[in-house]
Amino acid sequence: MAGLAGAVLCAATGFVLISLAWPKGSWFKSELLLKLSLGVGCGLGLFSFLYLLSLVFSVPAKTLAATEVVIFVLLSILLWIRGHNLHDQKLLQYTADMSSGLLGQTLRASFVVTLIGALHRCLKELATNPQGIGWDAFAIWNLHARFLFRGGEHWKDGFSSLIPWFHPDYPLFLPGSVAHFWSYLGRETTAVPATLAFAFTFSTVALLFSAVAVLRGRNHGLLAGLMLLGTPSFLRQGVSQYADIPLSFFLLAAIALLVPVIEALTESVAVIVRLPEVFSVALNWPLPLVRVESGGSAARPSLLLKCTVPA
Amino acid sequence: MITQTKVRRDPRKVLQIRIAVAAVALFSLLSTGWFVFEPVKQFQPAGTPLPEYDKRFEELRKRLPPHGVVGYLGIGWDSGYQLPAYYATQYALAPVVVENSLQPELVVGNFATPPAPATTTWPANLLPIQNFGNGVVLFAKRHN
């Protein structure tokens, strides 16, 4: 129960944080799946960082949990205040291709079937190998988590050069997340790394689907999600509990969030390029950019600028 | 605010797009189907599933100090399992650091098959403290 409450708190904090950072967005309605999938990574990032701080400053687990609840409440109040001061606008004013034609139906059906198959297989795989598959899972990531959780004040012992394969330079995000949930539960269980692996694998799919759907339309999103779900090596990596899938999640998140920024910048550049046109309209000044098409005795408005240029 | 508009496409292009999308959907379905029905194998890095390997060292963990460095002696493992057995021992005994040497004061003996106390000759510089009976033996360094 404590683990479930911790997971919900983590995801909710991530969602609130993402909603706060969302540009001019309504805090709940728009791009919900995109925000939810981003929120999972964001919440885990924040919580693993807080857990590491609690280790550094020897903060008890209960104090850490209380701090996290306070952070969530404060962020929620901030979001509520912000929500009241903003209009409901979306990241992209997109006319989504909600095509219910044969193409859309085929994609939707294929996506659902593939998703069910992938879910079934991944759950089966995680039930058989809850400690992960392959070397990195147990010899690096879950071992780091054990040092963080079991070590107490001596958690830094794991960074000893006596363990040659330990890779002390590797980020503590994944082991920190695992150890944090163990501290919520008060015991070690293989269900935590297995659940995290599952969450990251399907959050990556949800992120790809929702980001492409928001940026290019639902059918494009379905197609992208379908291709990812139909890649067994991706799913295998996901359930292996390696760090590659969490890394790919954050890279994808960065790309997905950069695309609208780049598009907005491109738009701004276009505006700057067109500034002379705008000024020519304002000043009624015939610049070389302006095409004047004369017909009869009166000058016709330029097709380019849709303005009347003095003869 | 960015706005996007729909582009009217050539009917031939639409057909090509439909064929391409159908091919992607078909291959994704086939790939998933193959993956779903593939048998699930249990991961056994040292010839034993990790949870069992963890259980093997449970009693030893209670005897060891909560932190510090212990040595390691792996005997009787196939060459392919020698290193994985050492890695899995470190995984089971964390946060105690397991050094692959006989230098520390305490040394963990990890035997592929449980050694018979009457017939086994222990290393000369090690004194057995406790034999856990499942291939795990705790040694202390013998001081002359």
Within a domain: B61: yes
The pLDDT of residue B7: 59
Within a domain: B26: no
Within a domain: B42: no
Q: Which of B38, B43, B88 sits opposite A129 (nearest CB)?
A: B43
Q: How far apart are CA B32 and CA A117, in angstroms?
A: 6
DSSP per-residue string spanning chain A: -HHHHHHHHHHHHHHHHHHHHSTTB-SSSTTHHHHHHHHHHHHHHHHHHHHHHHHHTT--HHHHHHHHHHHHHHHHHHHHHHHHTS--B-SSEE------SHHHHHHHHHHHHHHHHHHHHHHHHHHH-TT-SSHHIIIIIHHHHHHHHH-GGGGGGGG-TTSTT--TTS-SHHHHHHHHHHHHHTS--THHHHHHHHHHHHHHHHHHHHHHHHHH-HHHHHHHHHHHHT-HHHHHHHHTT-SHHHHHHHHHHHHHHHHHHHHHHHHHHHHHHTHHHHHHHHHT---TT---EEETTEEEPPTTT-SPPP-
CA of A191 to nearest chain B CA: how many angstroms apart?
13
The pLDDT of residue A48: 93
Average pLDDT, integer, range A127-136? 89
**Which helix (DSSP H) or strand (DSSP E) does residue B27 occupy?**
helix B11-37
The pLDDT of residue A214: 85
**Cβ contact (<8 Å) for A232 and B35?**
yes
Contact residues of B toward A, CB < 8 A: 1-6, 17-18, 21-22, 24-25, 27-29, 31-36, 38, 40-43, 45, 50-51, 66-69, 87-88, 90-91, 94-95, 97-99
Q: Specify the number of domains making up chain B.
A: 1
Q: How far apart are CA A116 and CA B116, in angstroms?
A: 52
Q: How confident is the model at residue A167 (pLDDT cuts 50, 70, 90)?
A: confident
Q: Quick check: pTM over 0.90?
A: no
Domain ranges of chain A: 2-270, 284-311
Higher pLDDT, A89 or A310: A89
Within a domain: B82: yes
Q: How confident is the model at residue B120 (pLDDT cuts 50, 70, 90)?
A: confident
Within a domain: B120: yes
Reported as a single tens digit per residue, the pLDDT across A255-300 is 988 887 777 777 666 655 655 554 444 444 444 443 434 444 444 3
Within a domain: B115: yes
Reported as a single tens digit per residue, the pLDDT across A189-225 is 999 999 999 999 999 999 999 999 888 888 899 999 9
Q: How confident is the model at residue B17 (pLDDT cuts 50, 70, 90)?
A: confident
User: CB-side exposure of A243: number of CA atoms within 13 Å?
Assistant: 18
- The answer, yes or no, to whether residue A90 has pLDDT greater than 70, is no
Most B-contacting residue of A157, A166, A234 (CB-CB within 10 A), to test interface: A157
The residue behind tokens 């503590």 is A172
**Cβ contact (<8 Å) for A128 and B42?**
yes
**Cβ contact (<8 Å) for B36 and A162?**
no
Q: Which domain holds residue B117?
A: 50-141
Q: How far apart are CA B5 and CA B21, in angstroms?
A: 21
Say which range, A37-41, A144-148, A160-164, B41-45, has the weakest mean pLDDT: A160-164
The distance from CA A165 to its chain's CA centroid, rounded to whole angstroms, is: 31
> What are residue B91's phi and psi, to 5 degrees?
-60, -40
Within a domain: B128: yes
